[in-house]
């Protein structure tokens, strides 16, 4: 059998499947190195919220295999990254914001030599008390962006007149992306001041922008290549750009290609996660469990810079209703600055953190009334008529169309014997004190557009050659989802 000839069925599912199974699919770490390539490793802050007084790199420079270091004075362009908010330094200092923040690079003949040398850095600092939780940041008035408020109707009045009221808090933790391929970049100088950047990124255009900005050169002189990533999940949307900038700065200083790959532990210390959220809420409702008024305060754990916290927090607001009509609503979203990694995009992009809040509220209402949570959810769905009120418009003014949730959920409950299974679970839980069971039927309404309107577009160039073959140039990146096959 010719294993080099994938079958038609393989191509139908994933164009790289055979190569990946055989270990032949090429990632950046598999690329043959250009002669003279050096390797960079991060010099990381061991402290959060500390003032840097002095940095001693003498032992680092004397370590075996070390060629030199790269610090803030070696940046030919802007010392701040070209982010939208423009609030994050390329290298930390004099203020050290979080444990793992990159202060500079050590460059050596091998990855291992560079990384081992980085541990020899010595610092003199004046230590402060770090803010490690959004509630601490709120009390201290520490924010990366201004608060955002969304309201409809009069939530305070609705709460005051509601037959039933509940309040509570909800803490939603973060989550590590744990992509199989850690953050990586390979910067190769080209002729006439041009650059080739191999970057494991979900956003090649942003990498191009950031590198050009840091090197103080036109965008046209930077070419970014990403054949595929070993997973991304949002973690390589902005934060792959850091690696590309760092590698390019090292290559610029030493005039040689530089590759930078983070070890897993360093990656976890340096890069952001899914945003943790702290929710405080109060709800008023009637005897059926229908929500009459909701007040929500959302504290977003953003980290030390804005990154993508603004649109993530906005999307959480837009999904606080999930699939439910909320007539009188007040939401306050605080984007809190803490002395931690700057949290970033993660699948769902804030949507799950909003949905979890309202689903927690639905569950608490059901327990308070002693009814099944499915009945509370069905009573609150969009499109469940209330006299002349069609209940089909979101708090942010968008009409919900083609809504099939109520018939879908009721039919599903019947076909899966939801009621009988819930009763069986109730009986089980009454007889067992250690092992408990649960069952829920939960709707989801999810917005697939970007909150930044200009991103809701795409383009492609299709070239058809004289032999009938076709090349497609497009703006997507492949991170395991089979994008090239779909295109």
User: SS3 for the chain, per residue?
Assistant: CCCCCCCHHHHHHCCCHHHHHCCCCCCHHHCCCCCCCEEEEEEECCCCCEEEEEEECHHHHHCCCEEEEECHHHCCCCCECCCCCCCCECCCCCEECCCCCEEEEEEECCHHHHHHHHCCCEEEEEECCCCCCHHHHHHHCCEEEEEEEEEECCHHHHHHHCCEEEEEEEEECCCCCCCCCCCEEEEEECHHHCEEEEECCCCHHHHHHHHHHHHCCCHHHEEEECCCCCCCCCCCCCCHHHHHHHHHHHHHHHCCCEEEECCHHHHHHHCCCCCCEEEEEEEEECCCCCEEEEEEEEEEEEECCCCCHHHHHHHHHHCCCCCECCCCEEEEEEEEECCCCCCCCCCCCCHHHHHHHHHHHHHHHHHHHCCCHHHHHHHHECCCCECCECCCECCCCCECCCCCHHHHHHHHHHHCCHHHHHHHHHHHHHHCCCCCCCCCCCCCCCCCCCCCHHHCCCCEEEEECCCCCEEEEECCCCCCCCHHHHC
Q: Which residue has the higher pLDDT, 389 or 301?
A: 301
Asked whether residue 387 carries a pLDDT value surpassing 80, the answer given is: no
Beta-carbon contacts of 152 under 8 Å, excluding residues fewer than 6 positions away, are 326, 327, 328, 329, 395
Tell me what the mean pLDDT of segment 455-475 comes to.
92
The predicted model gives 243-254 an average pLDDT of: 98
CB 44 within 8 A of CB 266: yes
- pLDDT for 280: 98
- Give the model's pLDDT for residue 17: 87
| pTM confidence score | 0.94
Instruction: Check pLDDT > 80 for residue 240.
Output: yes
Model pLDDT for residues 177-199, shown as the tens digit of each residue: 999 999 999 999 999 999 999 99
Q: Residues of 67-103 as b/e, b for ≥16 C-beta within 10 angstroms?
A: bbbbbeebbebeebbbbeeebbbbbbbeebbbbbbbb
- Which pLDDT score, from 0 to 100, does residue 10 have? 43
For 56, the token pair is: 């001693």
Percent of the chain with pLDDT over 70: 97
Q: Which residues contact 200 (CB under 8 A, 6 or more apart)?
A: 27, 28, 181, 183, 184, 185, 226, 229, 230, 232, 236, 240, 243
CATH for the 134-175+273-399 domain, from 1.10.3720.10, 3.10.450.40, 3.30.365.10, 2.60.40.10 = 3.30.365.10
Average pLDDT over residues 113-120: 98
Q: What pLDDT is recorded for position 262?
A: 98
Q: Please, what is the average pLDDT of the chain?
A: 95
pLDDT at 454: 81
pLDDT 10s digits, 10-53: 446 788 888 889 999 999 999 999 999 999 999 999 999 999 99
For the chain, which residues make up each domain, given as ranges? 29-128+178-270, 134-175+273-399, 453-486
Is the confidence at residue 112, as pLDDT, over 80? Answer: yes
How many Cα atoms within 13 Å fall on the side-chain side of residue 142?
A: 21
Nearest to 226 by CA among 194, 192, 181: 181
Residue 458 pLDDT > 80, yes or no?
yes
pLDDT above 70 (res 7) = no
Mean pLDDT of 138-164: 98
The answer on pLDDT for 386 being more than 80 is no
**CA-based Rg of the chain, rounded to a whole angstrom?**
26
Confidence check: pLDDT of 408 > 60? yes
The percentage of the chain sitting over the pLDDT mark of 90, rounded to a whole number, equals: 89
Across 4-8, 42-46, 215-219, 271-275, least confident range: 4-8
Confidence (pLDDT) at 219? 98
* Whole-number pLDDT of residue 175: 97
* CATH 3.30.365.10 describes domain 29-128+178-270: yes
């Amino acid at each position: 059998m010719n294993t080099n000839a994938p079958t038609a069925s393989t191509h139908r599912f994933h164009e790289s499947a055979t190569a990946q199974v055989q270990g032949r699919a090429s990632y950046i770490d598999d690329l043959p190195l250009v002669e003279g390539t050096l390797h960079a490793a991060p010099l990381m802050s061991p402290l959060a919220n500390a003032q840097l007084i002095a940095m001693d790199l003498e032992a680092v420079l004397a370590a075996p295999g070390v060629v030199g270091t790269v610090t803030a004075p070696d940046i030919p362009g802007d010392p701040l990254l070209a982010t939208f908010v423009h609030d994050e330094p390329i290298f930390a200092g004099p203020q050290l914001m979080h444990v793992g923040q990159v202060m500079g690079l050590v460059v050596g003949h091998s990855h291992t030599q560079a990384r081992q040398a980085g541990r020899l850095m010595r610092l003199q600092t004046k230590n402060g008390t770090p803010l490690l939780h959004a509630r601490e940041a709120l009390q201290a008035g520490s924010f990366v962006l201004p608060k955002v408020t969304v309201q409809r109707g009069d939530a305070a009045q609705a709460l005051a007149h509601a037959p039933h009221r509940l309040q509570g808090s909800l803490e939603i933790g973060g989550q590590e992306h744990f992509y199989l391929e850690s953050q990586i970049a390979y910067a190769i100088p080209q002729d006439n001041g041009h650059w080739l950047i191999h970057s494991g990124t979900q956003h090649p255009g942003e990498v191009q922008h950031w590198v050009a900005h840091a090197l103080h050169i036109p965008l046209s002189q930077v070419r970014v290549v990403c054949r595929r990533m070993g997973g991304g999940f949002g973690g390589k949307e902005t934060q792959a750009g850091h690696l590309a900038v760092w590698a390019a700065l090292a290559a610029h200083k030493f005039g040689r290609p530089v590759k930078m790959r983070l070890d897993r532990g360093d990656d976890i210390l340096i890069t952001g996660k899914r945003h943790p959220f702290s929710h405080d809420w109060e709800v008023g409702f009637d005897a059926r469990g229908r929500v009459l008024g909701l007040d929500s305060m959302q504290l977003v754990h953003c980290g030390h810079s804005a990154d993508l916290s603004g649109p993530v927090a906005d999307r959480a607001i837009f999904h606080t209703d999930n699939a439910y009509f909320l007539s009188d609503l007040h939401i306050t979203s605080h984007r809190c600055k803490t002395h931690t990694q700057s949290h970033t995009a993660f699948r769902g992009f804030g949507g799950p953190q909003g949905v979890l809040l309202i689903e927690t509220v639905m569950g608490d209402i059901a327990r308070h009334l002693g009814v099944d949570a499915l009945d509370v959810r069905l009573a609150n769905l969009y499109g469940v008529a209330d006299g002349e009120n069609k209940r089909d418009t979101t708090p942010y003014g968008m009409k919900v169309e083609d809504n099939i949730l109520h018939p879908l959920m009721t039919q599903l409950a019947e076909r899966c014997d939801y009621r009988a299974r819930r009763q069986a679970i109730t009986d089980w839980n009454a007889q067992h004190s250690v092992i408990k069971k649960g069952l829920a039927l939960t709707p989801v309404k999810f917005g697939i557009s970007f909150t930044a309107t200009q991103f809701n577009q795409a383009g492609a160039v299709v070239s058809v050659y004289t032999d009938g073959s076709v090349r497609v140039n497009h703006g997507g990146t492949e991170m395991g989802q089979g994008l090239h096959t779909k295109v």
